[in-house]
Structure 1
Amino acid sequence: MLRVEKLSYEIKGRRLLKDISFQMRKGEVLAILGANGAGKSTLMGVLCGDKKPTEGAVLLNGKTLDQYDMKELSRCRAMLSQQQQMTLAFKVSEIVMMGRYPHFKSSPSANDILIVEEVMNLCGVKSLEDRTFLSLSGGEQQRVQLARVLAQIWDNKDSLLLLDEPISALDLRYQQKVLAIAKALARRGFMVVLIVHDVNFAAIYADRIIMLKNGRKLLDGTPIEVLNTKDIYTIFSVESVVELSSKTLKPYVKLEELVLDALVFNSLLTSESNMTTERTLDLLIDKSPYLSAEELACQVGISEFEIWRLDKRNNTKVFRTDFDLLTEILPTLGKVRICSGAKGVKHTLVGGYTLHSYESGKKAVFAGDFDLAFLFNHWHIGLLIENESGRALRFFNKNGMELHAISLSDEQNDADRSEGMKDLILTENGDNGWEHCFSDRTIEVSKPKKDQYYQSMSQFRKILALCAAKKTPVSIKLLNGGCEQSYTGVVFNLIDQGSRYIIKEPTFELEIVWQNIGRIVSREDDHFKGPVVIELFNNYDDLILTLQASYIIIQENWDEVLGKCNKNSVV
């Protein structure tokens, strides 16, 4: 058995491996995956014994590597490295015989000669045995080195075989054959650890996969457990589709095409040193047509308002900046779908506007099907948008951030023909100059410090899970400077996607993108024994969401609570 305990490796003050632990049994093929620089080869060097860990230990068959003498270790551990330096003109047969050096003193035995013959035949290098190693192609040299490594532990099925990118220089036929050899040996008792860059080869030939990122073990499981769209993007930063083979029941990863325009990265191809914003947006939409306006704005570096205007899929008309007329028009629309957003949070309700109070030019409060307040001094401009999804009204602040949106039904699409809606929309001449109505604030995306709020994030989830299980009402309010939109009621359908958290009820939806949350604060209420209010702040430290539970019984066993949640469709 191979056991790795809290392994770390540091060189010149830089930690290349950080607190890695795992174990593998005889007969197992373990694949190590990760992007370049993730620490894969460093880990193999430590497993081999060539590198001494800064912290932790590697135990092979119950003994740490430094408890073996070199000859004993060489008989039960062999490694094929990425780099194979060879400057002398050794023959192929001589190099393969080097693998048997730990097994004899002066001259090889008949058994040693037999083993060398077998591994050369297996690796397809028998016909090259009299040629010098330096005269071979890169793929042929790699197969010779594999034969040498196999010869080293050929007669010891309790051995550890380490293969660092064993197929990097091989053609497709030998790529398959090398991995098939490794799996066949494992089925007879060998332990095999290999590094490959092709995730589909790992899915086919590995029993288990460990994924590394920045020197840490991020994922560990069977291919079907770790090879999914989200985790592949986390490790490699590539878009993919993962399907399950009906024949083998193993995952198959298909990469999405990466589309580049040479004008983006080669300024000498055209006299235009930079692409226009419109062209950048078009290319991004062609590549990822389902990105939201907020996501497009972050990537292109312009406001959400400009995204809606420049997106060729939309027909748009601009609203005038006097929004008092809305208090008369909105109650006539009937039941609509409304959405208020802040960076990282979307709060959606279904219902009708009922005006509760109104202060001209400052504030309008709606009650009834939902609670909503408009703070008009933060509103700047609006759009009537028509596309294949229908029509919608969207309102923006002076930085072009979307504050509020209303999706209109077919019946409500005719509302813009009313006298009030005609007054609301600018004429064609009045539409001029919209490009200059925003500040030149650059769109910035800062990285949250997740360790600082992970506990509160977990607490947020637990409170919602407990309230769902107990059918306890919660109050969830979004704030974005221009709107305060609230929902109070029972929630059941909680969807935790890791990076996103979603509540999806018939008349209420909430979506939180955790990477855009800067910090989370929980507050205790004197009337209850536990936190009942949680506040979410964005990366600019603006309060954007509050959650308040009617009561929380923190003494309850969480495992029991979560079991009850599953019965209530809580994911």
Structure 2
Amino acid sequence: MLQVQSLSYEIKGRPILRDIDISIQKGEFYAIVGANGAGKTSLLRMLASDLKPAKGEILFKGKPLRSYSLKELAYARAFLHQSNSMAMAFTVEEVVRMGRYHLKASQEQHNVAIAECMRICEVEHVGDRKIQQLSGGEQQRVHFARVLAQVWDQKDVLLLLDEPVASMDIQFQHQTLAIAKALTAVGFSVVAILHELNLVAQYADRVLMLKSGRKWWEGAPIEVLKPENIYAIFGVQTKVSTDMATLTPSVQTCTVHYSAAKFNSNYKHELAMELKEKYENYKKDNPKARIYDCAKALKVSEAQLLLTQLSDDVVLLKDDIWAILQELPRLGHVMALTRNDACVHERKGTYPTPSNEGHVVLFHNDDIDLRVFIQNWAYAFAVKVKDLLSIQFFDTAGLAVHKVYLTKDSNPIAVYEELVNSYRAADQTYFTINVPAVLSDISIPDTEIAVDSFQSDWLNMKDSHEFFGILRKYSLQRTQALRLAPSGFAEQLPLERFTEILNQASEQDVPVMVFVSNKGCIQIHSGLITKLVTMENWFNVLDPQFNLHLNMDAIDQIWQVRKPSTDGDVNALEVYDKQGNLIVQLFGKRKPGIPELESWRSLLQGQKV
């Protein structure tokens, strides 16, 4: 019935739709879903020949859609627009009759079609009323009757519906879609934009998910309506169950909770007291819980919890992050901590003087080796818990990016206190951190990747750092890139290989580099690892100057990855969670200009060094 080939659309050079390929069969109910602004209506209007594509082709019944005249299209396709407001006071029957104006038929035929369409849409009882006197849902049913009247006598029609049930109650939502579904059984093809995913599951044969103008997923509802897909498109958490008798999925959205103080500053004190009480109660019930665990349980950020504790022991510092970072060497021998949701990296030493390279701040000596993405850092606190003193940094969402703890070998406490007093923020009152919108993964389906070009770029890398640019160029997730890597350059390993390799590195004195990162910081340990201890689900390195704590339950994939460089190939062991986030990354110890250790390569190949 309809083939769409490499279809793109843009407005004043801004892409709205990009490279859409779909095929819609005769007798099929095809649903289009996506967030506001995804390009759904633009796509439907191009299928209706209302808009002209920037490139690509639409074939309708085997002929280019652009070759049809308006009169021919009036017989072969009908389009229910999203908005159908009318300025003039037509009666309901007059509006429905408008769908027949292009047809040459007897008055009796017109009357029968109009009566049947009004009856099935249940608007015949308001036929003599002005359309402006009806509710929004009733008006939508009138316009649906008009569209049906347009093609009531035709065969093999393309019926295009843009949010046809948006204003209707539950009864007429189902009734309207049931009418459209019934027409597919007699040869109509229906393309409908819908927002209610359970209606999609019940009535659609196939579903197209659009995201940012791209075809994201396509398939039967049971294939497409999955929690991870729904979250990627709409940013909402859902639970999806399936009726195994009909293979119909059912989508239940998780409740979103707000406090008035989140969007109204008049209530911030009440919010602070409420959160402080919850925090204190949780710590009382869970005395061993760290602030990270408390924040996760209370579904807030660590920084938000610290704001409820502002006092002599918890001090909000000025937002001059770069100036504070330059003061860290004054503290002397400290412990640097960087973590993500599954791994904690702790390294003792003295901070060197940092260098600001614009896109990254570097700390680099034999002990403290950091890559700081300072544009993501927003808040700093001085925190005292019993005798433990620290400077803690958080990103714009209030998530911890890096912490610095004093040790028994640090410089005198007076140096720390002087730093805190110098950078103490003037306002020490509670406020709500406005969490920025989280952008979901920007990767695109494997089928839309220029795999040959991507693999060529991989093979032509001169430095492993070029990998990040390649990911951005092709809009790839890391694990997606590993799946599509050139043959022999990425191999997924059994999960047990991680601990095997680390134990062998320890036993055989193979020096390694251990990278742990979050969105604001990468922390690196270079050297030997000696004392390895497993405690329940945690794998630990417990050396005097370096500690690592890895939650083994969070690991979903382990990859051995090979990247070219001017110093020869560089091999890494990379560990990922279920969401494809990098947890920890290991290399053989090396420096630019020096080839990779043969002992590390042998270790990865399972050979004794």
2:65 counterpart letter in structure 1: L
Matching residue of 1:99: 99
Distance of aligned partners of 1:360 and 1:196 in 2 relative to their CA distance in 1, 3 Å threshold: closer
Residues 28 and 191, structure 1, Cα contact 8 Å, conserved in 2: yes
Instruction: Check if 1:465 corresponds to 2:461.
Output: no
Instruction: Check if 1:12 corresponds to 2:21.
Output: no
Distance of aligned partners of 1:377 and 1:68 in 2 relative to their CA distance in 1, 3 Å threshold: closer
Residues 382 and 420, structure 2, Cα contact 8 Å, conserved in 1: no
The aligned runs of 1:525-564 (5 Å cut-off) are: 531-533=570-572, 545-547=585-587, 550=601
Matching residue of 1:313: none
In the alignment, the residues of structure 1 paired with residue 36 and residue 551 of structure 2 have an alpha-carbon distance, to the nearest angstrom, of 46
- State the aligned residue count: 446
Q: 1:478 aligns with which of 515, 519, 532?
A: 515
The aligned runs of 1:228-307 (5 Å cut-off) are: 228-267=226-265, 269-270=266-267, 275-276=271-272, 279=275, 303=303, 306=306
2:253 counterpart letter in structure 1: L
* Larger deviation, residues 470-479 vs 109-118: 470-479
Matching residue of 1:451: 472
In the alignment, the residues of structure 2 paired with residue 135 and residue 229 of structure 1 have an alpha-carbon distance, to the nearest angstrom, of 41
Mark the runs of 5 or more structure 1 residues left unpaired by the alignment. 311-320, 327-339, 350-357, 363-373, 386-393, 405-422, 425-432, 490-505, 514-519, 537-542, 555-571
In the alignment, the residues of structure 2 paired with residue 48 and residue 471 of structure 1 have an alpha-carbon distance, to the nearest angstrom, of 56
Note the C-alpha offset of 1:120: 1.3
1:550 counterpart letter in structure 2: R
1:93 counterpart letter in structure 2: E
After superposition, give the CA deviation of every residue in 1:524-553 in whole Å (9 maximum; x if it has no partner). 4977xx5524799xxxxxx97334673799
The aligned runs of 1:24-423 (5 Å cut-off) are: 24-104=24-104, 108-267=106-265, 269-270=266-267, 275-276=271-272, 279=275, 303=303, 306=306, 342=338, 344=340, 346-347=342-343, 399=393
Residues 341 and 478, structure 1, Cα contact 8 Å, conserved in 2: no
Matching residue of 1:355: none
Residues 34 and 235, structure 1, Cα contact 8 Å, conserved in 2: yes
Distance of aligned partners of 1:359 and 1:255 in 2 relative to their CA distance in 1, 3 Å threshold: closer
Distance of aligned partners of 1:9 and 1:464 in 2 relative to their CA distance in 1, 3 Å threshold: closer
Note the C-alpha offset of 1:157: 3.2
Note the C-alpha offset of 1:273: 7.5
2:186 counterpart letter in structure 1: R
Note the C-alpha offset of 1:18: 1.9
In the alignment, the residues of structure 1 paired with residue 551 and residue 339 of structure 2 have an alpha-carbon distance, to the nearest angstrom, of 22
Distance of aligned partners of 1:470 and 1:512 in 2 relative to their CA distance in 1, 3 Å threshold: closer
Note the C-alpha offset of 1:177: 0.2
Residues 305 and 402, structure 1, Cα contact 8 Å, conserved in 2: no
Note the C-alpha offset of 1:112: 3.1
Residues 5 and 20, structure 2, Cα contact 8 Å, conserved in 1: yes
Distance of aligned partners of 1:64 and 1:293 in 2 relative to their CA distance in 1, 3 Å threshold: farther
Distance of aligned partners of 1:523 and 1:534 in 2 relative to their CA distance in 1, 3 Å threshold: farther
In the alignment, the residues of structure 2 paired with residue 65 and residue 145 of structure 1 have an alpha-carbon distance, to the nearest angstrom, of 24
SS in structure 1 of the partner of residue 45 of structure 2: helix
In the alignment, the residues of structure 2 paired with residue 134 and residue 160 of structure 1 have an alpha-carbon distance, to the nearest angstrom, of 29
1:9 counterpart letter in structure 2: Y
Note the C-alpha offset of 1:260: 1.2
SS in structure 2 of the partner of residue 242 of structure 1: strand
Residues 142 and 169, structure 1, Cα contact 8 Å, conserved in 2: yes
* Larger deviation, residues 121-130 vs 477-486: 477-486
Identity of aligned residues (%): 33
Residues 344 and 512, structure 1, Cα contact 8 Å, conserved in 2: no
In the alignment, the residues of structure 2 paired with residue 307 and residue 545 of structure 1 have an alpha-carbon distance, to the nearest angstrom, of 33
In the alignment, the residues of structure 2 paired with residue 19 and residue 100 of structure 1 have an alpha-carbon distance, to the nearest angstrom, of 36
SS in structure 1 of the partner of residue 71 of structure 2: helix
Note the C-alpha offset of 1:398: 5.2
In the alignment, the residues of structure 2 paired with residue 452 and residue 11 of structure 1 have an alpha-carbon distance, to the nearest angstrom, of 23
Note the C-alpha offset of 1:341: 7.2
Note the C-alpha offset of 1:145: 0.8
In the alignment, the residues of structure 1 paired with residue 251 and residue 29 of structure 2 have an alpha-carbon distance, to the nearest angstrom, of 20
Instruction: Check if 1:522 corresponds to 2:563.
Output: yes
Note the C-alpha offset of 1:70: 1.0
After superposition, give the CA deviation of every residue in 1:183-225 in whole Å (9 maximum; x if it has no partner). 1111222110111111111111111111122222222122122
Matching residue of 1:499: none
2:586 counterpart letter in structure 1: T
Residues 348 and 367, structure 2, Cα contact 8 Å, conserved in 1: no
Residues 342 and 551, structure 2, Cα contact 8 Å, conserved in 1: no
Note the C-alpha offset of 1:140: 1.8
* Larger deviation, residues 12-21 vs 447-456: 447-456
SS in structure 1 of the partner of residue 22 of structure 2: strand
1:545 counterpart letter in structure 2: Q
In the alignment, the residues of structure 1 paired with residue 478 and residue 137 of structure 2 have an alpha-carbon distance, to the nearest angstrom, of 53
Residues 5 and 20, structure 1, Cα contact 8 Å, conserved in 2: yes
Note the C-alpha offset of 1:54: 1.4
Residues 9 and 55, structure 2, Cα contact 8 Å, conserved in 1: yes
- With normalisation by structure 1, the TM-score equals 0.62
Distance of aligned partners of 1:511 and 1:57 in 2 relative to their CA distance in 1, 3 Å threshold: same
Matching residue of 1:564: none
After superposition, give the CA deviation of every residue in 1:298-345 in whole Å (9 maximum; x if it has no partner). x967559949989xxxxxxxxxx9999x9xxxxxxxxxxxxx974557
Residues 456 and 522, structure 1, Cα contact 8 Å, conserved in 2: no
Residues 305 and 396, structure 1, Cα contact 8 Å, conserved in 2: no
Residues 303 and 443, structure 1, Cα contact 8 Å, conserved in 2: no
1:44 counterpart letter in structure 2: L
In the alignment, the residues of structure 1 paired with residue 338 and residue 294 of structure 2 have an alpha-carbon distance, to the nearest angstrom, of 9
Note the aligned Cα RMSD (angstroms). 5.5
Distance of aligned partners of 1:118 and 1:395 in 2 relative to their CA distance in 1, 3 Å threshold: farther
In the alignment, the residues of structure 1 paired with residue 58 and residue 208 of structure 2 have an alpha-carbon distance, to the nearest angstrom, of 16
- With normalisation by structure 2, the TM-score equals 0.59
After superposition, give the CA deviation of every residue in 1:4-52 in whole Å (9 maximum; x if it has no partner). 1111112223222222211111111111111222211111111111111
In the alignment, the residues of structure 2 paired with residue 281 and residue 57 of structure 1 have an alpha-carbon distance, to the nearest angstrom, of 61
Residues 377 and 482, structure 1, Cα contact 8 Å, conserved in 2: yes
